[in-house]
Every structure is written in structure tokens, then in C-alpha cells.
Amino acid sequence: MRAAAATLAATLAAALTAQHEPGLTRAAAEALLPQLVAEHRDAARRAGRDTLPTPTTTLTADAAPPMLRLGDYSMPFLLLQKGERPAGGWPLFLCLHGGGGNAEASGPHGWDVNDREWRAQQTLWRRRYPSPGLYFIPRMADDRRGRWYHDHNQLAFEQVIREAILFHGVDANRVYLMGISEGGYGAIRFAGNRPDRFAATGAMAAAEPASTSPPENMRNVATRIDIGEQDTMFDRVGLARRLGERLAELQQADADGYDFVVHVQAGRGHGIDYSLTPAWLVTKVRNPRPRRVPWLVTPFDTRVALQHYWLALREPPAVMPLFIDATIEQNRLVIRAERRDEAAATAALTGTLLVRLDDQLADLDRPLSLTVNGVDRGEVRVQRRREVLARTLAERDDPALAFSAELEVDLAAPR
């Protein structure tokens, strides 16, 4: 990730010399993006960021797996391929095993339960998981900690997704996360905390409370939970049902969002039919430009996301959770921002929100009307700029989340 940061720093440095560049036309911005993607990919390769091995189509039992180096952690993994690459690019599946943590393990990879569960994912890849696709199947980096939401796992998944998009022909709008038991807990947490990377997430034999996996953030990522009706340990089936009830409430108020399924499998306990979730996930495609973006900004382990679809922050908010709800339709941008605590929600009257735009979201040749926290701010204009397109591409290495214009919105009420 240091190389990625260096690439972004270089892009930001270039921006300092481009503040007075002329605006781009719509046609020029659309033509420029493929050129910037090619240049960015070449720069990333020269920086040594092309580190993933060539995907393999077979499993070799005795071969030492490759490792992701994550600071003090090392993550064994497999990168596997099924079928032939589709014309639009590979679907990418991140497959998280069950097991979890054992503080008494002899070392970072010393617990045989995680070894066994990792092998189970490999068996499912061979027998159940859909084709075509690229499959990243990681083994827990440290059995003594043993939770998929920890910072080092977030960094691992981010690195894999970035490299897979840049160098392995992956369709950025068809990235999926799924897991079993502990892996399913991780899938739900990522749905609630990092949804914009995924088309869909799927949890099998797992559930999470809304307090760890904000359901508001799941508006634009398809989410499925398969759970046995007798899976009562840790109240798994109860948690799944309650999360489903909350998602149903949100869906009722917003019929264009919250695509979800909570499927309670009759007669099953912690062992369920694992074929249903991946078959459902693969039918989903990410929309990187949804018309409405709710965003509960809150720490995920210790990291705070600074981008969320077409919204961004320069730094973590001083007070969290911060809830932002942004809608754009027919060149009308409406933003609500509020500080939340257990007692109440109050309007957030300080800070700056970055709104990324292009001609898929609005007609940038016309002004936008802006409303913030119920106050009409009048009309604003933005310009398409090469610097913004290059910077937003570099931020996430995702051409589908590169935007040609940026609007700074001061959340403070005008005087």
C-alpha cells in the first residue's frame, strides 16, 4: 500500500501545477479516461505494484502458497481461476473461511481449525462455486486475533481488489465477498462498512448486529444471508432475522435500494446449503453511481473510510458517527449531514464534504441546484478537469469510480 500512496502523492503534487487548467468538454473527459487508465496502470507496474501471481486453474496439495505481506502480518492465499474470461472482464470473488481466533495458538498460522476451514473453501471452489471467475481464497493472517474485519485484512482485500482491476482484467463492477461462519461475519461487516467496493456480499451460517454493520450503508450493495433455522449459538439466526427486519424497513422507505435476502434454511443448524449464496451473488452488478448515497462515517476496526461512492472527505470527522445522506437527480443535489449519538441526531454544521461528479450523474454544462440541511444554497457550477479525473482514479485504482469534477460543500450554515 506504500506504493499506492506514493502514486497518489505524485498525482496530488501534479495537481498543484494544474489549478488553472482549462475545463474539459464532456467529450474530452470521456475520451481522456481510457488514456489516464493506461498511463496509471503503467505507472503502477513501474512502481512494483503488480505483485499477485498468475491465477492457477488447479490445486497443488504440496505447493507452498504465496503470501501477502501486511506489515507485521503474512497472509497465505490462493488465486484460482474457473472458466474463460468474459468479454467485460473477470468476476472476482473473495472467499473467507470460517474458524476464527484462538489466543492459545502456537503462532500466526498455528491453529488447525483455520487450516481445515481454509481447505473447505478450496473444496467449495472446485465443487460449488460458479464459473467463470477469479477466486481469492485467503487464510487468516494471525490465528491469535482471528477476525476478518481487522485493519490488516482490510488492507489485504484492498490490495487484491486494486491489483486485480489493474493487472488481471477484473470487472470492477463485479467484485463479490462471501464467507462461511467467521467468514460470513466478515462479509456482513464489509457490507456495512466498505460497501462501495462490492457488487454483492454473502454470509453463510453467520449474522451480525446492526451496531457493527450499519444497515444504512447497505443501500447500494446487494446483501444475502443464508442461515439455518436451528443455528441458535450466539443468537445467529436471531441476529440475521433482526438485521433483515431493519433492512426491510429501509427498503420500504426507499424502494430503489436495499437489495437483500435473509434466507432461513428450514431444518438446518450451523451446516447449510452453501450453493445458494454464490449463485445469487453472481447475478448482481455494482452501480458505482447510485442516485442516493447514505453514508454513516464511523471507524471500521481503527480505519475510517474517506471515500464512499461519489462522496469523499479529506480527513476523518472530529466527531463520529457522522451520517451523510446525499441525493442527486435532474441536476438537483440535496445533502443532509448530522452528528449521531445514542440520544439524538443533530445537524452537522461544520466540515467540508467533497462531491464527485460527472455527466452520468448530472449535466455539467448546466448549473446544479444545491440544498444542504434543508437550506437552499442556490445554483453552483463545476468544471470537468483532468486533475480531478486523474486524482480520483488514483485514489481507488478503479476506473468506474473516477470522476471528472469535484464540488466542495461547506456544511456550515451560510450567514
User: Longest C-alpha distance within the chain, in Å?
Assistant: 69
Residues 75-105, buried b or exposed e (16+ Cβ, 10 A)?
bbbbbbbbeebeeebbbbbbbbbbbbbbeeb
Which pLDDT score is estimated for 52? 97
What would the CATH number be for the domain defined by 67-281? Answer: 3.40.50.1820
Report yes or no: 114 and 99 within 8 Å, Cβ to Cβ: yes
Distances (CA, A) of 351 to 300, 308, 310, 378: 21, 16, 17, 19
Domain ranges in the chain? Answer: 2-46+289-410, 67-281
Q: Residue 136 pairs with which residues in a beta bridge?
A: 79, 94
Which pLDDT score is estimated for 17? 46
Report yes or no: 405 and 358 within 8 Å, Cβ to Cβ: yes
Give the pairing of strands 90-96 and 133-138. Answer: parallel
Residue 346 cell numbers, joined: 443533530
Distances (CA, A) of 271 to 49, 99, 205, 261: 39, 13, 7, 18
Residue type for position 73: Y
Which pLDDT score is estimated for 179? 98
Distances (CA, A) of 332 to 126, 327, 414: 49, 8, 19
Which pLDDT score is estimated for 35? 98
One digit per residue, the tens of pLDDT, for the chain of length 415 reads 555 555 555 555 554 444 556 799 999 999 999 999 999 999 999 999 999 999 999 988 778 899 999 999 999 999 999 999 999 999 999 999 999 999 999 999 999 999 999 999 999 999 999 999 999 999 999 999 999 999 999 999 999 999 999 999 999 999 999 999 999 999 999 999 999 999 999 999 999 999 999 999 999 999 999 999 999 999 999 999 999 999 999 999 999 999 999 999 999 999 999 999 999 999 999 999 999 999 999 999 999 999 999 999 999 998 899 999 999 999 999 999 998 876 566 766 678 999 999 999 999 999 999 999 999 999 999 999 999 999 999 999 999 999 999 999 999 877 6
Task: Tell me which DSSP letter residue 407 carries.
Answer: E
Would you give the distance in Å from CA 184 to the centre of its chain? 15
Q: In whole angstroms, what is the distance from residue 145 CA to residue 169 CA?
A: 33
Residue type for position 366: R
Which pLDDT score is estimated for 40? 98
Helix and strand numbers (H, E) in the chain are 8, 18
Helix (H, G, I), strand (E, B) or coil at 391: helix
